[in-house]
Structure 1
Amino acid sequence: MFQFVKRFASVFATGLLLAGVPAWSPAATPTYTVGSTATGVPFTFLDVKTNSIQGLLVDAITATGKAAGFDVDVQQTTFSSLIPSLTTKKIDIISAAMLKTPARQQVVDFSDTVYSYGEGLIVRADDTGKYPSMDALKGEVVGAQVGTAFVDALNKKGIFKEVRTYDSVADIMRDVALGRIKAGFGDHPIIAYQLQHNPNPQLRLVAEYQPEVKGQLCFVVRKGDTATLDQLNAGIKKIKTDGTLMQIIKKWQVE
């Protein structure tokens, strides 16, 4: 009897194929297009050797996908284009150094927290001033990366001579070193990592500075995309519980 059933199933499947109807197969693993920036070392950056985006947040979204049952296709996207690319469905998820803010929450949805930090402050190495807060730079020309929460915070202060915006932290560092701006604000882990691995004798990270824009790094999805958001949160929970996320954080030296 078993041989008959097995033979019947084989014949039935063959008949379906001949009739142009595909035989049953397991559902394919979904692949989400992920937008990441090329200038956010160590969170996201372009690895010139492989011509691919690498970093802590690339590892984190890949591990989250594996835990939640989906694959990822990471695409290089400029920071200012991340949310527009998401809302126009060019990408499905943002995995970049984009802090969760009330203003952004009106436009997109954020996952559970992946990593938390605040801003860092850089000045010229020969600048011996004390800068414990933003207020200490009143009346000066300062800079921050376009599209970041730091720009909003600096403009809201209303105490600076000028707040200039830049495409990347590297551009901010250049203008601080050249004396074009008094100081630059950016993601503290990114600045610290870059100065640690590529020392610049013309710059210093201000040790006494206390960040005013403390926030959470999360994955970002389109407003109302609860299906993807639920998958992400389930995956994040798993990689936090089994220690995978902490291993990734240690790998990129941003503890």
Structure 2
Amino acid sequence: MLKRGFFAGLAAVLVAVAAPWPAAAEAVRVGITPTGVPFTFVDTATQKPAGAMVDLATAIAADAGLTAEFQVNAFPALIPALTTDRIDLISASMFVTEKRKEVIDFSTPVYSYGEIMFVSAQDPKNYKIAELKGGVIGAPIGSTFADALQKLGLFKEVKLYDSIADIVRDVRLGRIKAGFGDRPIVAYQLAQQPDLGVRLVEGYQPMKEGQIALAVAKNNPKLLQAVNTAIDRLQRSGQLQKIFARYGL
């Protein structure tokens, strides 16, 4: 959490000029995930955080004259880290949902997409969800579409995984019939590594398109206002679009 005295000064600035944080040597702690390529990941060559949402958080902090300090967490740990004041901001491929809005506040949405189905590269069939009835499928733990798949009641089991890489492995080895993941994340990984042994199911229609946004704790409205102001400036300047285009999004 940024210091109280800092935010006291911030409030006056926001009222006076409707600008985000004043220049300060403060750092904002940003939670990201290590496996959300191309949104958030750890670059294996540099061992540093990378991805579209990393670049976006860096740009937002720079707009405010601050430094972004990134903390890597498993996706399910992001919201607990935010609500217990271990981080100030989540910048990851996190959908805005009513359930999440009960415990955290979201910024202006910055990108939207749905889920995708993938199967073994040796399986030529382009399945519809109903055709997987009675089978075992995989989805990322904590994802909105994992809940939606479970609620369908079609499958023998919806196995939950910590990462897309683990789902890809089990699909390739035949341990599960199909995997589901965030469309841009899975598509980017397959484009970068076409020999992973899985392929996207052609013609698949996502159950729901979601919007992703940054998130702050509910007791931090000034940070939310400052983030939204920065996002608005980045959108109007075209920089937001350039950040996502850099990663093929």
Cα offset, 1:136, TM superposition: 3.1
Aligned to 2:44: 48
Alignment of 1:1-255 (within 5 A): 28-132=24-128, 134-200=129-195, 202-254=197-249
- Partner letter of residue 110 of structure 2? V
Q: How many residues align?
A: 228
- Partner letter of residue 177 of structure 2? K
Cα offset, 1:98, TM superposition: 1.1
Cα offset, 1:84, TM superposition: 0.6
**% identical aligned pairs:** 49
Compare CA radii of gyration and give the structure with the larger one: 1
Cα offset, 1:148, TM superposition: 1.0
2:24 aligned counterpart, secondary structure: coil
**Structure 2 unaligned blocks of 5 or more:** 1-21
RMSD: 1.5
Moved more, 113-122 or 194-203: 194-203
- Partner letter of residue 226 of structure 1? P
- Partner letter of residue 192 of structure 1? A
1:160 aligned counterpart, secondary structure: coil
Per the normalisation by structure 2, the TM-score is 0.88
Cα offset, 1:65, TM superposition: 1.9
**Structure 1 unaligned blocks of 5 or more:** 1-25
Q: 1:91 to 1:200 in 2, by over 3 A?
A: same
Moved more, 233-242 or 192-201: 192-201
2:216 aligned counterpart, secondary structure: strand
- Partner letter of residue 231 of structure 1? A
CA–CA separation in structure 2 for the residues paired with 1:205 and 1:28: 46
Cα deviation 1:88-121 (Å, max 9, x = unaligned): 1000001111111111111111100111110011
Cα offset, 1:61, TM superposition: 1.0
Kindly indicate whether the alpha-carbon contact (under 8 Å) linking 2:168 and 2:196 is maintained by their aligned counterparts in 1.
Answer: no
Q: 1:201 to 1:31 in 2, by over 3 A?
A: closer
Moved over 3 A (4+): none
